[in-house]
Amino acid sequence: MILINLFLLLLCELFLSIDLISAQTLPSQCSTYTTNNDGSRNVNAVGSDGCDTMFMSGSTWIRFIGASGTQLPTSPTSPKQCGTQVTGWYAGAMPAVSETITNGRVCFSFDGDTCKWSNTIGVTNCGSFYVYQLTMPPVCSARYCTDTPNIPTTIFPPSNILKEESFS
């Protein structure tokens, strides 16, 4: 009987450790990204002539932090803010479940048109934050705006919920 209880205990510990490992498995871009804390790209910053030239060499995974805000805005932005003349906002649905990657459209507002230009980006939900795969905007004087929304970032998938169980 003691041997069976010991076997069951070891088996339970194995399953719990597998759940812990899967709960910590995130896409690589959740640990390999460039951070940006540039407050001039926040929706509350005044306009200027800024361009997002940091993406000239190709797409880059970006995590926005600090003064910049934490996310791209998900509603139209006004021109002449975010340190630029042509303001970029995310017109897609944010991935609500952790470890989810979605593609969506960023619209660039200018001259009364909330989507005068657009491009496609990737968005990954990394649990407590998002990372964005951004490319060079379609025109100069265009930048990705940022904001700090009051919405939760993540819903964890059911497989990542650890349950406490007692064994006798």
Can you spell out the DSSP letters for 126-148?
Answer: -SSSEEEEE---SSTTEEE-BB-
Domain segments of the chain as ranges: 32-156
At residue 149, the pLDDT reads 83
pLDDT in tens, 60-92: 999 999 999 999 999 999 989 999 999 999 999
pTM of the model: 0.76
Do you know the residue count of the chain? Answer: 168
Q: Alpha carbon of 39 to those of 4, 54, 64: distances in Å?
A: 61, 16, 10
Q: What is the pLDDT of residue 73?
A: 96
- For 125-168, what is each residue's pLDDT tens digit? 999 999 999 999 999 899 999 999 865 555 555 444 333 333 33
